[in-house]
Structure 1
Amino acid sequence: MAKPPKIVKRSAKSKAPAPLPSKQEILDFINNSEKPVGKRELARAFHLRGDQRTELRGLLKELASEGSIDKGHRRKMAPKGALPDVLVIEVHEVDPDGDAFAKPVSTKQHGDLDENVRIFMKPHSNRNAPAPKIGDRALARLKRIGDKSYEAEIIRTLHPAKEKVLGLLEATKGGCILHPTDRRSKLDYFIAENDLNGAKAGQLALVQPMGGQRVYGAQQGKITEVIGSFTDAKAFSLISIHAHGIPMEFSDEVLKEADALPEPTLGKRTDLRDIPLVTIDGDDARDFDDAVFAEPDTNPDNPGGWHLLVAIADVSNYIKTDGPLDKSAQDRGNSVYFPDRVVPMLPEQLSNGLCSLRPHEDRACMAVHMYIDRHGKLIRHKFIRGLMRSAARLTYEQAQDAIEGRLDETTEPIMETVIKPLYAAYQALDEARQSRGTLELEIPERRIFVNDAGEVTKILPRDRLDSHKLIEEFMITANVAAAEALEAKNARAIMYRVHDEPSLEKMEALRESLEGMGHNMTKGGVITPRQFTGILKKVEGTEQAQMMSDIILRSQAQAVYAPENLGHFGLALRRYCHFTSPIRRYADLLVHRALIKAYKLGDDGLEAEQADEFEDLGEHISQTERRASVAERECKDRYVTAYLSEHVGAEFKGRVNGVTRFGLFITLDETGADGLIPIATLPNDYFIHDEVHHALVGRQTGMTYRLGEPVTISLREADAITGSMTFAIVDGGKVDKKLQRSVGGKSGSSGRGGKKRFSRNKDQSSFKKDRSERSEKAKSPFAKKSKKTRGKRR
């Protein structure tokens, strides 16, 4: 790297302002910095004061709009194409001297990253730490040492290299074939009888790959561990748990600490037992950690206002920092929810016992009194530690039935005193939400019903009731109050829930897509969620509605936990924490501890050592949240695939939810199941991928398949082992001559910017090769194919 530009030193006593740097000087400073820099660092380096800082902000905006710099994590500036200062990396090379080199791993948060960089892994400070292996993934802090060279210091190892493969055993001559459960794994493994180690066909097992000649087209291996039977009721969740390394069992030390915890007493707590707090959750909820109450505010200065009370299980009362329970909860980061089970962050003694706000039982809580005006604006708040007793456990359906006049023996006694005030206060909070202009994306959810035998009995959409929105708004308001309270006390560390605004690159891609669909989005200026909601309102009720929602969702940044406040873009909030679910999220426990420390609510508040680790903790719990999300989705995919495997050959209605160079991803309307239509199977044309318009376009016919459009498909294959399905198009798509011309049309000329063209013959042969490789495998009884479409060219 070149030497950094000289910075003019100025006497501290001098009152003369330093000269404003030129754009080139700013660019030189950013380009020669070892890590991304913020506006404050630039102002300090160039000795800028007052109005000069405003001018500096303008220069930085110009550099960003010109594409000279990137604005990344925490709004810090880096050279165009530079990697973030904290990133997930994967080891791809270890040289003969033992030096390890890595590549960046793209994520939803960071998008596509330049892999043409060299990342040297700094030796671990702990000499006893295991040597890095090819395939290891880690969270690392990067230091730039050249234009495309970095040095990485490991913060935390996320996933060690996969030395073993999880799969399903199926009998074959001379042993078994193991079919990997990971759909990305293309190799099967042959295990000779002598290497089965007691494992049998139909079991899930871990295989250690071995060298040697392939047998039946499969790599040789030996079984190291049997995980369970594929016919077990909870096999699908078991696969996800092991595939993602989710801790499932609690140690004896942790359980011993949990067993010794005492029942709560009043002591110095505020007695809330006379207030009729209620819990409102789904009928399938496994833990109850929040309770709510509302009443009119009697303060004459707040006419029409409301007093809200949100009480949350006081988990910090039971979990001491750095104790066995705390270390276990931090490692897990959060609970993981599957259709057939939950892997909790805390042992059952807490999650379903002392910290579950069950009706008519005394429970320790952290509570916040909140006062809102008649328009839902939060005026003031006060946090306390209390002892509460839930008056009732209601389901969302129960609460909704009650407000609509369908009372039962639980809701009738509390209708006037509890339920009506809750809904009235919610109306005020909803008005405030509308006034803020939040991003209103309706993302459909479906509930999978599983019986005791592990079979899916039905899949139904989850209703979106006012009772759901009521609890959501109460929790959001409590989370805002927590962030405000901590900032008011200048808390040493705050774990924010951050949702940054979309990146410039994503906004430019979105703008191009919108223009392609006839919608204009102003270039430049401040981006607000209200702009997106306005676009969605314009297309509401049209065929473009779902497609527009999908495109806007893809443009959003991923929400993360971080000690630096970037606001919550989607909720249109300047500050936001997670306070309301410490049973299932470690982030919330950290916020509770910070409040206890800031407001002197006990001697079990946030300790200085843990406060100093907030940046690393934020990265860790963000990663465990993503791990849980992927594991939950994959488990659901397997359940849905098993459910539909009995309907191979049947036709279904769906929508295009993804367009790629290799085909169309389809989501079925009824079940929400996802599957792929390979580009090679699209009929009677040579299809071109138009990235800007999210479409596959037929060069000869102009037949076009676009994101969000409805289609009818037939189910060709359903593999419950991997949770993957293959579809064939039956009906859908539209002829679009304009797009046909824009991608080259019949002339065969190359496509313009943003278009990728693919030879159907080439893709067809690739698809056939993949099919032929799979045909060498001993076919699983769980992979079912349609007789009508097997081997047939369309």
Structure 2
Amino acid sequence: MSKKAKTNDDAKGGKKYQHPLPDRNAVLEYLREVGKPRPADAILKDFNLKGQRMRALLVEKLDKMVRAGQIIENRRGEYCLTEKLQLVAGTVIGHADGFGFMRRDDGADDVYLSAREMQRLFDGDRAVVKVTGKDRRGREEGRVVEVLERGFRETAGQFIRERGIGIVIPDNPKIAHRILVPAGEDGSAKHGQIVVAEILDYPSGNEQATGRVVRVLGAPDKKGIATDLAIHAHSIPNVWPKNVTDQAGKFGSSVPAAAKKGREDLRDIPLLTIDGADARDFDDAVYCEPSGKGWRLLVAIADVAHYVDVHSPLDKEAIRRGTSVYFADRVVPMLPEALSNGLCSLNPKVDRLCMVCEMRVGADGKVSKSRFFEGLMRSHARLTYTEVSGFLSGETPKSVPAVVHEPIQHLHDLYQAFANNRNRRGAIELDIPQARIELGDDGTVEKIITVPRNDAHRLIEECMIAANVQAAKFLRKHKIAGLYRVHAKPDPERFEDLRQYLLSLGLQVPHPDHVEPRQFNKLLQQVKDRPDSQAISMAMLRSLKHAEYTPENIGHFGLALDAYAHFTSPIRRYPDLLVHRAIRHIVRGGKAGNHDYDRAAMDHLGQVCSAHERCAEDATREVEAWLKCEFMEDKVGETFAGVITGVTNFGVFVQLSEFQIDGLVHVTSLKNDYYQFDASRLELVGDRGGKRYRLGDAMSVQVQRVDMESKRIDFRPMEDESEPQTGRKRAGSGSKRRSKR
């Protein structure tokens, strides 16, 4: 390799820099060729870069590569390849019991970190470790070499004062550390209050973390405290920087005439939006009409890329957030409301900019041709799933205007063709009920209801999937850097556990090496009429890997697709915005080589977006668990019908059928016997009596204990195995309402 940096084209106009800064790949290639650690000044000289400004830019790039785990700076200030030092980089995952794991950047199996190694780490930190061997369970074990980047600067938890010493106990169960609060740094917090603490000193091998209280959130039973805690515990940004709100405010409330020029005008086409009744931001609008022996489908998506420029304050904040986070009592949006609920939202009867995917779909439900273009639209109706479902059932709600009657019927016809095609290709159909928590004005849980899915939900889902598939194919065709939504095959070990269980039920199950989505569906068909079908479906769901964002397209196992990307929700998901930018770049005549992003940048953004998604899921799951505990707190002593949804060596997890609420029946609460856990059959078996507790078994349980601190509910089985009357209370039982913390 030449010691001079390769010349790169400027992303905007192909301008050549005289002394361009080397990109990450060039630096890595250089360090491999040199074969030894190099200080920044030597790298500067070898790339023929001069001046303090270029040195500062180079050091900034090198520091970013250190944080990404690609290189490491040794104690002599030299930069080395982590691969040469046999080190691995990744993100730390903490555990309440003190130990942890590191999720490796290279996608290999997690590395186990002992409690001793975790003494200097928090959940979410990025670190470099050296694999030192295997632990007694055969897992790779690591020793921390360097902490690259801290996962958060603040944490939320309960403030405790013991013998004059202030301590913050983080609410995040993955953080086993306690934060010491020095005298004068308690922010006037009182014992027992929920606070936010800024970390002053991170833990080392010898010293605990210290921090100062920067915000008092309030008493444990304050309205909305669970969401406040989750937001701060998971470092979810919820305050807009001034430069972001200033930029968002400059766009005004309507689309200017200049922005409408050069776009295809769709304002006369009766596009409509279909969303939940409580939705406030509308990403997508649809329209369908017959065409030949099939249909013409338009999926119009809010043109967020028009407003959010690369590297702008809005863009940087959107990356920092990554996704909108939906809690029961509020939404933490990715974009300011001026855009998310205003200019970008496809509100009815107003002009909006959009990116459109036009598809020609045959009678077989397959897309034969598609194109993308920048459009100008005006939504003709904002409808809910309930309204559309009623219309399709023969009702004619006044809220459904006549102009969209035919398009809705055409959409339903198209959906049936899409559904048939989905069934033919073998996409997994896991129709597991979803619970919705409804809050009262005072923030307490009024009721928990199961939300049924109807054809209106499925109709929109299939239209969005179709557009997402075409977006992925567009990226692949033009070989442009973008993020695919990938879903890998099930982990062989995890699937083998599921396989052994299903074989014990007499079902035909493929070997892990040969499993395909179609076979998942065959299994679901085999069990659909069984009383334990829902439990089996949940067990199958747990065997699947989590979908992720990456520039490497490996297909989507669950949907049985060879290419899939997220294109349809750029208001609330950053990966969709990146896909829009890639498509727009090509539509406007650009080439893959002069796009704003290269493969390395997209790989990094994929990791960031996947991490934000996991963080959002963890936070919403914790709030949901807290609210469910609050709902059950005054039901101690009552009995309910449930189903066993999990079996472990320490007991069984039971889900209440009425509320989709889970709790634990500890093994010591089962009938008087010693129980052995059979992992292959997912059951507990009594030594003497032979009593079996299996996944999917019905079980009547009594609410024994609700622990708001750990967000855990304990049940005990009722000796009377008959179905209980829901909500029946035992004589003399009951509990006083305790602290909501």
TM-score over 0.5 for the alignment? yes
The Cα shift of 1:395 comes to 0.2
Within a 5 Å distance, the mapping from 1:313-712 to structure 2 comes to: 313-491=302-480, 493-523=481-511, 526-600=514-588, 607-609=595-597, 611-712=599-700
Q: Which residue of 2 aligns with 1:296?
A: 290
Pair 610,522 (structure 1): closer, same or farther in 2 beyond 3 Å: closer
For the Cα contact (< 8 Å) 2:670–2:717, is it kept in 1?
Answer: yes
Q: Once structures 1 and 2 are overlaid, which stretch shifts more, 317-326 or 703-712?
A: 703-712
Distance (whole Å) between structure 2 residues aligned to residue 613 and residue 728 of structure 1: 52
- Does residue 781 (structure 1) correspond to residue 741 (structure 2)? The answer is no
Partner SS state of residue 460, structure 2: helix
8 Å CA contact 1:642–1:719 kept in 2: the answer is no
CA 1:324–1:562 in structure 2 vs 1: closer, same or farther (change >3 Å)? same
Q: Return the alpha-carbon distance in structure 1 between the equivalents of residues 570 and 167 of structure 2.
A: 44
User: 1 CA distance for matches of 2:410 and 2:592?
Assistant: 35
1:105 aligns with 2:95: no
Provide closer, same or farther for how the CA distance between residues 369 and 189 of structure 1 changes in structure 2, counting only shifts above 3 A: closer
CA contact (8 A) 2:93 2:174 kept: no
Once the two structures are superposed, residues 463-488 of structure 1 have per-residue CA deviations (whole angstroms, 9 ceiling, x without a partner) of 11000000000000000011112222
Do the aligned residues in 1 keep the contact of 2:508 with 2:523 (CA within 8 Å)? Answer: no
Q: What is the Cα deviation at residue 411 of structure 1?
A: 1.3
1:696 is aligned with what amino acid?
A: L
Q: Which moved more, 1:370-379 or 1:679-688?
A: 679-688
2:723 equivalent to 1:723: no
> Quick one: which of 280, 294, 299 aligns to 2:274?
280
- The offset of 1:106, in angstroms, is 6.1
Moved more, 431-440 or 389-398: 431-440
What is the CA-CA distance between 1:91 and the residue it aligns to?
9.4
Task: Output the CA distance in 1 between the equivalents of 2:302 and 2:482.
Answer: 20
Which of residues 224, 236, 246 in structure 2 aligns to 1:256? Answer: 246
Kindly state the Cα deviation for residue 783 of structure 1 after the two structures are TM-superposed: 6.6
CA contact (8 A) 2:172 2:234 kept: no
Q: 1:89 to 1:359 in 2, by over 3 A?
A: same
* d(CA) in 2 for partners of 1:416, 1:220: 63
Deviations 1:382-404 (A, max 9, x none): 10111110000000000011111
Q: Is contact 1:289–1:357 with CA below 8 Å preserved after alignment?
A: yes
**Letter of the 1:668 counterpart:** L
1:289-330 C-alpha deviation (Å, 9 max, x unpaired): 100000001x4xxx2x00000000000000011111101101
1:763 alignment counterpart: none
Instruction: Work out whether residues 705 and 733 of structure 1, in 8 Å CA contact, stay in contact via their aligned partners in 2.
Output: no
- Structure 1 residues 323 and 585: alpha-carbon distance in aligned structure 2, compared to 1, 3 A threshold: same
The one-letter amino acid of 1:233's match is: K
Q: Equivalents in 2 of 1:324, 1:606: separation in Å?
A: 23
- Paired residue type of 1:159: G
* Structure 2 CA distance for aligned equivalents of residues 144 and 430 of structure 1: 48
Alpha-carbon deviation of 1:135? 2.7
How many residues are aligned here? Answer: 625
* 2:729 corresponding residue in structure 1: none
Q: Give the 3 Å change call, closer, same or farther, for CA 435–469 of structure 1 in structure 2.
A: same
Unaligned runs of 5+ in 2: 1-31, 33-85, 135-139, 201-208, 723-735
Map of 1:267 onto structure 2:
261
When residues 661 and 87 of structure 1 are mapped into structure 2, their CA distance, relative to the original with a 3 A threshold, is farther
Corresponding residue SS for 1:250: coil
Give the Cα–Cα distance (whole angstroms) in 2 for the partners of residues 605 and 390 of structure 1.
36
Q: Closer, same or farther in 2 for the Cα pair 1:662/1:199, shift >3 Å?
A: same
> Aligned pair in 2 of structure 1 residues 594, 118: CA closer, same or farther (>3 Å)?
farther
Asked if the contact 2:153/2:199 (under 8 Å) is kept, the reply is no
| Superposed CA offset, 1:225-272 (max 9, x none) | 312343433212111111111111110011111111253231111111
SS in 1 for 2:514: coil
The change in CA–CA distance for 1:150 and 1:636 in structure 2 (over 3 A counts) is closer
Contact 1:704 1:733 in 2 (8 A): no
| Separation (CA, whole Å) in 1 of partners of 2:555 and 2:147 | 25
Q: Assess if the C-alpha contact under 8 Å between 2:170 and 2:233 holds in 1.
A: no
Paired residue for 1:228, among 193, 210, 218?
A: 218
Note the aligned Cα RMSD (angstroms): 4.0
Report how far residue 144 of structure 1 moved: 7.3
2:121 is matched with: 134
Write the distance in 2 (CA, Å) between the matches of 1:243 and 1:120. 22
Structure 1 residue corresponding to 2:237, chosen from 228, 234, 247: 247
Pairwise CA distance, 1:603: 12
1:254 partner amino acid: V
Is this contact kept in 2: 1:721–1:782, CA < 8 A?
Answer: no
1:717–1:783 CA contact under 8 A, matched in 2:
no
* Structure-2 separation of matches of 1:275 and 1:250: 37
Instruction: Provide structure 1 residue ranges, at least 5 long, that are not aligned to the other structure.
Output: 1-33, 35-82, 93-101, 122-131, 211-218, 735-778, 785-794
Partner of 2:647, secondary structure, is strand
- The aligned residue for residue 158 of structure 2 is 167
Distance 1:689 1:510 in 2: 15
Paired with 1:341 and 1:653, the residues of 2 have a C-alpha distance of 31
How far residue 119 of structure 1 moved from its aligned partner, in angstroms, is: 13
- Please state whether the residue corresponding to 1:159 is helix, strand or coil: coil
The answer for the alignment partner of 1:89 in structure 2 is: 92
CA distance in structure 1 between the aligned counterparts of 2:388 and 2:232, rounded to whole angstroms: 38
Counterpart Cα distance in 2 of 1:346 and 1:603 = 28
What TM-score comes out, normalization by structure 2 length? 0.76
Shift of 1:273: 0.4
> What is the CA–CA distance in structure 2 between the aligned matches of 1:118 and 1:616, rounded to whole Å?
29
Query: 1:717-770: per-residue Cα shift (whole Å, max 9, x none)?
Result: 223344221111115899xxxxxxxxxxxxxxxxxxxxxxxxxxxxxxxxxxxx
Aligned 8 A contact 1:719 1:783 in 2: no
In the other structure, the counterpart of 1:203 is: 193
Aligned mates of 2:596, 2:169 — CA distance in 1:
49
Q: Provide closer, same or farther for how the CA distance between residues 351 and 114 of structure 1 changes in structure 2, counting only shifts above 3 A.
A: closer
- Cα distance between partner residues in 1 of 2:235 and 2:151: 8
| Larger displacement relative to structure 2 (423-432 or 320-329) | 423-432
CA pair 172-91 structure 1, distance change in 2 beyond 3 A: closer
Q: 1:330 to 1:309 in 2, by over 3 A?
A: same
Q: Aligned equivalents of 1:654 and 1:508: distance in 2?
A: 27
SS of the residue corresponding to residue 137 of structure 1 reads: coil
Query: Cα–Cα, structure 1 residues 547 and 110, in superposed 2: closer, same or farther, change >3 Å?
Result: farther
8 Å contact from structure 2 (residues 381, 404) kept in 1? no
Partner of 2:446, secondary structure, is: strand
- The alpha-carbon distance between structure 1 residues 353 and 371, as it changes in their structure 2 partners (threshold 3 A), is same
Distance across 2 between alignment mates of 1:178 and 1:781? 22
Matching residue of 2:17:
none
